[in-house]
Every structure is written in C-alpha cells, then in structure tokens.
C-alpha cells in the first residue's frame, strides 16, 4: 500500500484529532519495530514543543508536557533542524531527564524534525530498550514517513491551537450595490464555457447565512447522518484525487477530515442541538465562530483554512437539506474570487466547480496554466464590478472571448448552453493525428508536449506527441502547501518517465519566482520579482531543495534516457555550477548504493538576453538547448507580460525578437547542438514558418494544439519557410512585420 493510502486510512479510521495522532504514532512504531515513541507538535505562539501523542510512556502527560527548543534531544532536533541518533540517549549532553516519563528502561534514541516547507511542525522521536543504534535505513524511513504525515500533523496542530482562544469574528462590511445584468470583459486564461451560480470566496460573505429551517432536517439524528455522509464524501474526494492527480493530492483534504471528526467542531454542534438549537442553526453558529477564529488569527496558515471551514459548512447544510440531491460540492457553481492559491484551485476542481472568475491581470500565470491542465474555464478581469456580484447570481463565462455575463438574459443563457454542448461534443470526437509530422516537401518536424501534471499524460498520448519537450516540475511545488519530499518527487518523475517509456522526456528543474510564488515560502520583499531570486537562482541559493529534486530526477531516470534542463540560465558560469550539483548528486547516490541514471543529458533554457549573447558557448557545453519564448520576449522588450497596462507591447513580432531567435538557433546548429522551442509562440501559426525557416525541427506545445500545429506544418514547404524567415529578419518595424505576416496567415 502506498504511503498516501496508509495516511488516508489513518484519517478515515480516527475519531478525532488526538486519536489520529495516537494512531499515526502507533503505525510508525510498528512499521519501524520500535519499543516506544512520541510526537511533539510545535506551538508557534508559545515557541514550545508540546507532547501530543506517546506510546510506551505516561499518556497523562499528553498536552501537559512542553519543551523549549533549548531543552532535551527533542528541542535540539528542531533547533538544529537535524536528525539526532544515539545508541544511549541518556549519555548525550543535551538529554533532559523528565521523571514523569520514566525513560530509564530505554536506551537507543532517534528523532527527526518535521517541516512543511520551511515551517516547523514538530518532532517524532522513537526509542528502543536495547543498546543498538537505529540504522541509516531506519532514519531514512522515519524521515520519509514523517514528511508524508507532515500535512496532517500541521493541520492537527492548528486545530489544537485554535481551541485555546475564541476571539469574536469581525463585523461584516456592507457590500456594494449588486450589478445589473451586464458583461465583465477580461482575459480568457483557460478556454471553455461555464454556466452556473456565483459562489464568493474571500469576501465579506465568507460567513454562512442562517438558512430557512423549513427546508432542512433539524434533529440530532439528522445531523449525525449528515455528518457521517459529509465524512464519507470528503474521504472519497481524497481517494479520487489520489487517483486523478497523484502528483499533487498529498492529503489535501486532511483539514476537512480532521475538523469533521474534531469534538470541538462537530461535537459543539451536537451540544447546541441537544440544548435546543436546530441542526442547521447549530452548523451555521459553529462554522461562523471558526471562520472568525481563523480570520482573527495572527497565524497565516490558519487564515488560509477559512475556505476549508466554509466548505464544510456548505457540505453539512447540503446534507441536511431535505430537497437537495447535491453533495455540498461546487457542482453548478462558478467561483468568484480576488485571488486563488494553486492548492485552492485543486480543491475547487476536485469538488466539480464549473469555472472561475478572478480579479486581476495575468499575475497568476501558474493558476492559468494549471487550470488549462485541469480543464476548467477561467477568466481574469480588472473590472471592479466583479466585487458587486452577489452570492447565487447567475453567471456565464466565455473563456474563449474572455467575457463574463452577470444575470444574463434567457436568450444569452440558452445560446451558451448550446455552445457548451457543441464544445463538449467536438472534444469527444477523435482528432486525426499522424504519428509523425512532415512539411509538404518531406522534411521531418518533431512535435512534443508541454506537461504540467501527470494528468496531462493521457492527452499527450491521445495527440501522439513524440515525447515531452518540457515538464514544468514546479507545479507539484506550487499546488501543495509545502515542499514535496525527495520521495514524493521521485514517484512523480518515475510515473512520467515510465508512462512515456521509449520516448524523449525533458525534465526542467524548479522555476519559481516572478509570477510563480510558493505560498508556504517566507516571502522577501522584491521590488521586481521577475528580476529577482527566481528559477535557477533560487535553486543555487537553496542547495538542499535543489539536491532533493536532482536526486529524485536521477533516481527516476534509472533505465530511461534522462534529460535535465535548467531554467533562466544567464551565463556559462551558471550552467557549470548547476551541472556541478548534478555531478555531486550522482556521487552521493553512488556512495549510497541507490539505483539511478549516472549519465543524464543536461541542457539549458535560453530565456535571457545574456544567455543569447553566450549561446555559442552554451551550445558547445550543453547536450541540448531549449528556447523559452515567454520569458525571452519579456526580457528582450522590457515588458512585464502580466501587466495589462503594457501588455500590448508584449509581442514576438518585433525585429529584436526575431533577429535574436535566428542568431541563437544559428549558434546551436553551428555546434550540432539540438535546439527546440517550447514557449507559447511555438504554436503560433504566424511564427511556425519563421521557426522552420531558421532551422528549428522540434516544437513543444500544449497537447491539444498538436493537431493544429501538425496541420500547419504539413501545408508548408521548407524552402518557402527559409524565404519567409529571411524576409522577416530584415524588416525593421513591428508594423512592417505584422503586415507581412497577415499576408501569410490572415488575422
């Protein structure tokens, strides 16, 4: 059984938070054959480690015994962020004698720190009666198992923390006047048609409203049935996500499951009902109290749980509603929000939302890319009328045109219903795609897929991609609430490589920063994050994170032809330093006797003007090059592509862009270095002739675009493309280039 399956079962079979921790500890002790153990969770407000579960020691100390980071081997473990392993724990100078624990019967000691990203969660400590050092394999297993439990452990600690304080929730501000029927214009970030009622996230309507009791079952028995059904539904959601999105589904509903089983949450609802409240009134009262607690908390991790609590309230009410056949999901609803974390997008998608309407420009590019992978329509708008949308307003989203219709007329609703059905029907029809692609004069062109998630692989195969030309490894980082461990990354990369066995797969190392922000990483204030600590710069500065990723890639690549690529390389020095870390990781894995690929092909992205200037030197040392046009155009033109005020200046049809591309491609070809293009313009019908004419033989695009790109390529001749490319690089203005391209492919 996979670890995530085990942890899901632990959650399923636990009756409350404390019971979950007790069962988790018991499972760890049994798994590693230890005699005793303890789980300490870190109380951030008190800066102390609190004993929350123990086996083999006095259970009366649970919740009472606490240690500072300067006390004992447990404190040392978290203070120095390292494993402590002793043959005789009592002989260590930092060993703290706690008489009530009665540890005199135990000799061998091991403890590991548990972190969620850079956030301390706690310490797991195991002890044995015999004097025998815990093995390296024991330590490795404990770290892996602990990291897998970290999400649920953190949520358990947060729930335990909030039981200690009960601030009133703030008053709700007045909402703006609700808008009349109309259109909000924006940008379609993920194509598709969505129809449904608005559900508002992160607004003053975050508190639940008192429902009409006439529509609800009100008894204690009805509540208990609704609670059981809610638990079953959420546990099934977790299982479904582990199948559908194995790379990002690590216990993402653990907060929901723990809260539903928490005596201070569901138990309080039962008490209110026993005291005379109706079941729906009790649900609303307790949920709103928790929302207030989370809103008021100084702990940002608690604030992020507001939507989880609101989700649970809606689910319980839906299961109490006598006339409802819904499961408390987002079926038939369009989510309206000012901002959305990738992890929230995953949860919303898992609960079957129809679409998303978000405020802002393109700042959340990763949300757009993720939404496209998940197949959910998304529109970004900067129209502040979005904030006047009311809960349950009827909405229509046109993700193709970027239009959102508020309270649309019946004719508009019916028109888009028909369009949505046509879109779904066309998507079901098998598109004819040839296994190979040639120009009309017989030159081979290789079409590869850009992949964000493991769930993209079926489409990659459906559209007969010749391989994966870009795997964006940052998405498992962006979607989660913590850094994925080496083991978790290994499983993702191995699944991708195994699924694409025999085909070329290019794994790009972590590309965060700019518009791709890790919510769980402490944010430093950068005046220009696109020019700051991002991509390879981040990896080189955070070597442990970099090494975990490289080791996972190398291990997954065993038996495969592995390609590793570094993003945002600015110089040959950057590339050499990064490659040196690959060599270090290979040396480590050899020393540990771990199976891995010890001869990966290593390449560089070309995204910066500085990399373009040294493209000849890079081509000599790299096994391959890949042009990332999205960033390259931005940096060449000095245009922030996420800023709508200047977005019209962001264009690939610029003399500087075309000449730079031609020069980089020529440098690679002169040194027989394979080169590809993986940015959005790789699928641009107007740019494809230029790329072919300058010598590109490999394009990597979104899987769904492969049929269209193949159709365009097959209608072109190589010689025609060379003539087109030569003309384009000799043109001096954007206007001249655009007019010429329009004669080739009308706008």
Task: Tell whether 640 is covered by a domain.
Answer: yes
3-state SS, residue 115: strand
Task: Tell whether 91 is covered by a domain.
Answer: yes
Low-confidence winner among 228-237, 260-269, 520-529, 727-736 (lowest mean pLDDT): 520-529
Beta-carbon contacts of 424 under 8 Å, excluding residues fewer than 6 positions away, are none
Edge-to-edge strands of the sheet including 36-43?
66-68, 48-55, 36-43, 119-128, 108-116, 84-86
How far apart, in whole angstroms, are the C-alpha atoms of residue 621 and residue 628? 19
Please, what sign has the CA dihedral across residues 682, 687, 689, 694?
negative
| Angle at the Cα of 255 from the Cα atoms of 26 and 54, rounded to 5 degrees | 25
* pLDDT score at 151: 62
Element (H, E) at 610: helix 609-613
Rounded percentage of the chain residues whose pLDDT exceeds 90? 35
What does the block give as tokens for 404?
Answer: 């959102």
Whether the predicted pLDDT of 178 surpasses 50: no
Give the mean pLDDT of the chain. Answer: 83
* pLDDT score at 170: 35
Work out the average pLDDT over 270-291: 90
How far apart, in whole angstroms, are the C-alpha atoms of residue 494 and residue 503? 14
**453 or 717, higher pLDDT:** 717
| Total count of domains within the chain | 3
Q: Are residues 125 and 228 in the same domain?
A: no
Q: Are residues 103 and 221 in the same domain?
A: no
**687 or 80, higher pLDDT:** 687
**157 or 25, higher pLDDT:** 25
Q: Are residues 491 and 614 in the same domain?
A: yes
* pLDDT score at 6: 58
Among 302, 320, 338, identify where a domain stops. 320
Rg (CA), the chain: 28
Question: CB–CB of 519/341 below 8 Å?
Answer: yes
The conformation of residue 510, written as its DSSP 8-state character, comes to: P
Confidence of residue 212 (pLDDT cuts 50, 70, 90): confident
Task: Tell whether 120 is covered by a domain.
Answer: yes
* pLDDT score at 10: 62
Strand intervals (E) in 532-687: 562-566, 601-606, 624-627, 675-677
Question: Which of 745, 657, 742 lies closest to 709 in space, CA to CA?
Answer: 745
Work out the average pLDDT over 729-735: 95
Whether the predicted pLDDT of 179 surpasses 80: no
Helix-then-strand count for the chain, H and E: 27, 23
Whether the predicted pLDDT of 357 surpasses 60: yes
| Angle at the Cα of 467 from the Cα atoms of 2 and 676, rounded to 5 degrees | 130
Element (H, E) at 124: strand 119-128
Q: Are residues 229 and 134 in the same domain?
A: no
Whether the predicted pLDDT of 16 surpasses 70: no
Tell me the H-state helices in 321-376. 342-350, 365-374
Q: Are residues 226 and 138 in the same domain?
A: no
Work out the average pLDDT over 32-38: 88
Task: Tell whether 693 is covered by a domain.
Answer: yes
Buried b / exposed e across 671-684, counting CB within 10 Å, b at 16+?
A: bebbbbbbbbbbbb
How far apart, in whole angstroms, are the C-alpha atoms of residue 596 and residue 555? 4
The conformation of residue 278, written as its DSSP 8-state character, comes to: -
Confidence of residue 362 (pLDDT cuts 50, 70, 90): very low
Work out the average pLDDT over 624-651: 85
Please, what sign has the CA dihedral across residues 664, 450, 528, 484?
negative
Whether the predicted pLDDT of 109 surpasses 60: yes
Q: Are residues 534 and 653 in the same domain?
A: yes
Whether the predicted pLDDT of 689 surpasses 70: yes
Among 162, 186, 204, identify where a domain stops. 162
Question: CB–CB of 490/340 below 8 Å?
Answer: no
3-state SS, residue 497: helix
Question: CB–CB of 512/482 below 8 Å?
Answer: no
Whether the predicted pLDDT of 224 surpasses 70: yes
Q: Are residues 453 and 543 in the same domain?
A: yes
* pLDDT score at 173: 33
Task: Tell whether 471 is covered by a domain.
Answer: yes
Task: Tell whether 575 is covered by a domain.
Answer: yes
Please give the distance of CA 696 from its chain centroid, rounded to a whole number: 32
* pLDDT score at 29: 87
Q: Are residues 456 and 528 in the same domain?
A: yes
Q: Are residues 713 and 614 in the same domain?
A: yes
* pLDDT score at 346: 75
3-state SS, residue 265: helix
What does the block give as tokens for 266?
Answer: 């569901």
Q: What is the CATH number of the domain that holds 252?
A: 1.10.274.10
How far apart, in whole angstroms, are the C-alpha atoms of residue 332 and residue 392? 10
Question: Which of 741, 737, 747 lies closest to 655 in space, CA to CA?
Answer: 737
Q: Are residues 551 and 468 in the same domain?
A: yes
Q: Are residues 451 and 305 in the same domain?
A: no
* pLDDT score at 172: 37
Whether the predicted pLDDT of 540 surpasses 70: yes
Q: What is the CATH number of the domain that holds 113?
A: 3.30.450.40
**263 or 608, higher pLDDT:** 608
Work out the average pLDDT over 442-461: 91
Task: Find residue 53's DSSP bridge partners.
Answer: 39
Question: CB–CB of 683/709 below 8 Å?
Answer: yes
How far apart, in whole angstroms, are the C-alpha atoms of residue 530 and residue 515? 7
Task: Tell me the per-residue pLDDT of 368-418, one tens digit each, with 9 for 90 and over.
Answer: 777 887 888 999 888 888 888 988 899 999 888 788 999 887 877 887 888
C-alpha distance from residue 627 to each of 368, 609, 680 (Å): 21, 11, 11
Task: Tell whether 191 is covered by a domain.
Answer: no
Whether the predicted pLDDT of 174 surpasses 50: no
**128 or 481, higher pLDDT:** 128
Q: Say how many residues make up the chain.
A: 747
* pLDDT score at 171: 37
Question: CB–CB of 458/710 below 8 Å?
Answer: no
Q: Are residues 596 and 703 in the same domain?
A: yes
Question: Which of 616, 625, 634 lies closest to 670 in space, CA to CA?
Answer: 616
What does the block give as tokens for 347?
Answer: 């949860």
C-alpha distance from residue 301 to each of 121, 123, 477 (Å): 12, 19, 17
Whether the predicted pLDDT of 573 surpasses 90: yes
Among left, alpha and beta (phi > 0; psi -120 to 50; other), residue 375 is left
Question: Which of 10, 18, 28, 247 lies closest to 143 in space, CA to CA?
Answer: 28
Strand intervals (E) in 638-702: 675-677, 698-701
Among 131, 162, 193, identify where a domain stops. 162
Tell me the H-state helices in 434-571. 457-462, 475-479, 486-499, 536-541, 543-556
| Angle at the Cα of 35 from the Cα atoms of 33 and 38, rounded to 5 degrees | 105
What does the block give as tokens for 177?
Answer: 């006047």
Low-confidence winner among 168-172, 382-386, 700-704 (lowest mean pLDDT): 168-172
The conformation of residue 717, written as its DSSP 8-state character, comes to: -
How far apart, in whole angstroms, are the C-alpha atoms of residue 736 and residue 695? 23
Confidence of residue 133 (pLDDT cuts 50, 70, 90): confident
* pLDDT score at 269: 92
Task: Tell whether 178 is covered by a domain.
Answer: no
Beta-carbon contacts of 122 under 8 Å, excluding residues fewer than 6 positions away, are 39, 40, 41, 42, 49, 52, 78, 113, 114, 153, 157
Residue 596 structural domain = 437-744
Q: What is the CATH number of the domain that holds 488?
A: 3.20.20.60
* pLDDT score at 557: 96
HEC string of 134-165? CCHHHHHHHHHHHHHHHHHHHHHHHHHHHCCC
Q: Given the structure tokens 């004069």, which residue do they identify?
A: 441
Whether the predicted pLDDT of 168 surpasses 50: no
Among left, alpha and beta (phi > 0; psi -120 to 50; other), residue 567 is beta
How far apart, in whole angstroms, are the C-alpha atoms of residue 442 and residue 599? 34
């Amino acid at each position: 059984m996979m670890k995530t399956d085990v942890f899901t079962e632990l959650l399923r079979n636990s009756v409350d938070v404390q019971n979950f921790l007790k069962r988790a500890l018991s499972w760890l002790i049994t798994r590693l054959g230890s005699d005793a153990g303890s789980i300490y969770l870190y109380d951030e407000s008190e800066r102390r480690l609190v004993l929350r579960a123990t086996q083999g020691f006095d259970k009366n100390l649970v919740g009472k015994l606490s240690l500072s980071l300067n006390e004992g081997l447990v404190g040392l473990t978290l203070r120095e962020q390292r494993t402590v392993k002793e043959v005789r724990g009592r002989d260590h100078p930092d060993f703290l004698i706690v008489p009530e624990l009665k540890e005199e019967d135990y000799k061998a000691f091991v403890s590991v720190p548990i972190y969620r990203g850079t956030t301390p969660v706690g310490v797991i400590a195991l002890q044995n009666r015999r004097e025998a050092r815990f093995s390296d394999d024991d330590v490795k297993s404990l770290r892996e198992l602990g990291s897998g439990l970290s999400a649920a452990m953190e949520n358990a600690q947060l729930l335990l923390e909030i039981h200690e304080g009960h601030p009133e929730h703030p008053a709700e501000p007045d909402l703006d006047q609700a808008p009349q029927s109309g259109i909000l214009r924006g940008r379609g970030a993920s194509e598709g048609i969505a129809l449904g009622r608005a559900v508002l996230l992160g607004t003053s309507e975050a508190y639940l409203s008192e429902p009409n009791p006439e529509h609800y079952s009100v008894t204690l028995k009805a509540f208990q049935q609704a609670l059981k059904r809610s638990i079953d539904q959420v546990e099934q959601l977790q299982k479904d996500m582990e199948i559908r999105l194995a790379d990002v589904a690590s216990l993402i509903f653990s907060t929901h499951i723990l809260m539903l089983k928490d005596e201070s949450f569901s138990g309080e609802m039962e008490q209110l009902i026993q005291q005379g409240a109706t079941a729906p009134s009790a649900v609303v009262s307790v949920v709103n109290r928790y929302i207030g607690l989370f809103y008021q908390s100084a702990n940002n991790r608690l604030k992020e749980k507001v939507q989880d609590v609101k989700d649970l309230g809606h689910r319980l009410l839906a299961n109490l509603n006598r006339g409802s056949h819904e499961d408390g999901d987002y079926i038939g609803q369009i989510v309206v929000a000012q901002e959305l974390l990738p992890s929230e997008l995953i949860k919303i998608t898992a609960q079957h939302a129809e679409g998303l309407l978000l405020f802002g420009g393109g700042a959340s590019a990763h949300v757009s890319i993720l939404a496209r992978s998940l197949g959910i329509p998304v529109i970004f708008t900067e129209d502040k009328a979005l904030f006047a949308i009311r809960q349950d307003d009827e909405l229509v989203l046109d993700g193709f045109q970027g239009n959102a219709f508020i309270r649309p007329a019946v004719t508009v609703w019916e028109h888009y219903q028909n369009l949505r059905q046509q879109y779904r029907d066309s998507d079901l029809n098998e598109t004819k795609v040839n296994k190979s692609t040639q120009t009309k004069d017989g030159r081979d062109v290789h079409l590869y897929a850009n992949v964000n998630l493991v769930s993209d692989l079926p489409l990659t195969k459906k559209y007969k991609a010749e391989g994966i030309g870009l795997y964006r490894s940052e998405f498992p980082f962006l979607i989660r609430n913590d850094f994925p461990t080496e083991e978790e990354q290994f499983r993702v990369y191995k699944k991708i490589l195994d699924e694409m066995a025999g085909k070329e797969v290019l794994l790009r190392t972590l590309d965060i920063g700019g518009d791709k922000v890790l919510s769980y990483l402490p944010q430093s204030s950068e005046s220009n994050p696109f020019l700051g600590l991002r991509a390879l710069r981040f990896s080189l500065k955070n070597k442990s994170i970099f090494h975990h990723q490289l080791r996972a890639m190398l291990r997954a690549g065993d038996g495969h032809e592995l390609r590793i690529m570094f993003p945002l390389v600015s110089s040959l020095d950057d590339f050499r330093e990064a490659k040196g870390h690959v060599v270090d990781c290979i040396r480590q894995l050899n020393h540990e006797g771990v199976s891995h690929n010890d001869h990966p092909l290593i390449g560089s992205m070309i995204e910066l003007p500085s990399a373009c200037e040294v493209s000849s030197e890079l081509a000599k040392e790299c096994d391959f090059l890949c042009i990332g046009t999205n960033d390259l155009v931005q940096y060449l033109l000095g245009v922030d592509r996420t800023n709508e005020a200047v977005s019209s200046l962001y264009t690939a049809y610029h003399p500087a862009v075309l000449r730079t591309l031609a020069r980089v491609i020529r440098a690679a070809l002169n040194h027989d270095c394979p080169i590809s293009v993986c940015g959005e313009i790789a699928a641009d019908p107007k740019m494809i002739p230029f790329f072919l004419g300058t010598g590109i033989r490999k394009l990597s695009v979104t899987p769904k675009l492969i049929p269209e790109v193949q159709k365009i390529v097959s209608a072109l001749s190589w010689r025609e493309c060379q003539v087109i490319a030569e003309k384009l690089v000799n043109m001096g203005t954007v206007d001249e280039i655009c007019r010429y391209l329009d004669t080739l492919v009308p706008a």
